[in-house]
Amino acid sequence: MKTRSASIVIVSLLSFLGASITTNAQQLRDAFRKVSQSVVIVRTKRIEVNASAEDPMSIVEGLGSGVLVSSDGKVLTAAHVVETAAVASVEFPDGQLIPARVIGSDVQSDVALLQLSQLPKGISPAILGDSDKVEVGDQIFVIGAPFGIGQTLTAGHLSGRHRLNKNENGAVEFLQTDAAINGGNSGGPMFDMDGHVIGIVSTMMSHSGGSEGLAFATAANTAKRFLLDRRPFWSGIDGLLVTGGLARALNLPQPAGFLVQRIGDGSMGSRLGVNPGILHATIQGSDILLGGDVILNVNGIDITAPQASDSAVGNENYEKIYESIAGLKAGDILVVTVFRGGKVLKLTAAIDK
């Protein structure tokens, strides 16, 4: 009698688990169908300086993902996908290929905003959710183009929340997930089970080069704050902070500066006339470009070395510089001080309407 009762319990439990799995699978399938048409492949081209003197320049093609988030043609993606792009285009699942331009980016939180040259036909934008409401353990899913294979869905859970810094304007927050993320997923949306965008895929951590269940997405509320709730801007500048011995070797007139590596065509950096790097060099095991400008100061705010309390991504002065630029109105003058050829120069540009 006891054996029969135990069997009934086991069968009932298996039936319950099977029904639960079926329900979750159906919910995931329905959510995917609801939002998948808004997820895009982002294709870019940029000019790269080669190490070879025989072929000094080349065009490098880039690939990422993104998501349409407004009815007027705005697309969210990752900053590292488009920051120094010369040309960008967006490919929708139905084959529509639409030129786009970068109108905003924030390197620290790794989010960027594209504006399509025309509106896609018959496609509704995804809904940006409130990322503060999602909790560790909640089910999520990601849609993107890993290795260029579009409309790929991976599912998992929210594994953690990480705030990189805290200032008067709030924290830069990343959401950790165990959903499979690979090259090409960058910039793609992370959805909750209601089909709301709660994050933009940023990066994965891997020893093998493939997905190992440890990936991060910029929280949707962070993306909103930097790119949608105020006037966005695109610096288009890729570079690295130089301090200590390298700063002294470059003869900088101050303890720290931002060594420019690449400039995005049409960006604020290109309109200012900032010079990119032109010469490959290996310093302390890292390949960098020398010969470009070193930014010393932006709108009166010095580039400084990070303090012990600063995050790995940026420091307090980065926040001040970002706020200073974001606060400029159309017609205001942006002033950037650079170190070029042993001289300190001031570069200026008017802010567009």
Query: Domain map of the chain by residue range?
Result: 39-116, 130-221, 237-350
What confidence tier does 212 reach under pLDDT thresholds 50, 70, 90? low
At the top level of CATH, the class of 237-350 is mainly beta
* pLDDT, position 206: 45
Q: Say which range, 131-135, 210-214, 293-297, has the weakest mean pLDDT.
A: 210-214
Distance, CA of 152 to chain centre: 19
Instruction: Establish whether domains 130-221 and 237-350 are of one fold.
Output: no
pLDDT of residue 312: 41
Please tell me which residue, 11 or 199, carries the higher pLDDT value.
199
CA distance 121 to 37: 11
The predicted structure's pLDDT at residue 121? 93
Contact 222, 212 (CB under 8 A): no
**Which residues 6+ apart lie within 8 Å of 276 measured at CB?**
49, 260, 261, 262, 263, 289, 292
Q: Return the active site residues.
A: 80, 110, 186
Question: Quick one: pLDDT band at residue 285, thresholds 50, 70, 90?
Answer: confident
pLDDT for position 15 = 58
Alpha-carbon distance of 350 to 332, in angstroms, equals 6
Residue 342 is predicted with a pLDDT of: 94
Of 264, 276, 283, the C-alpha closest to 340 is 276
Please tell me the least confidently modeled range out of 96-105, 123-132, 191-200, 308-317.
308-317
* pLDDT score at 207: 43
CATH architecture, range 39-116: Beta Barrel (2.40)
Q: Are 48 and 59 in contact (CB under 8 A)?
A: yes
Q: What's the predicted TM-score (pTM) here?
A: 0.86
Instruction: Compute the average pLDDT of residues 45-55.
Output: 74
Average pLDDT over residues 256-280: 94
User: 130-221, what's its fold?
Assistant: Thrombin, subunit H (2.40.10)
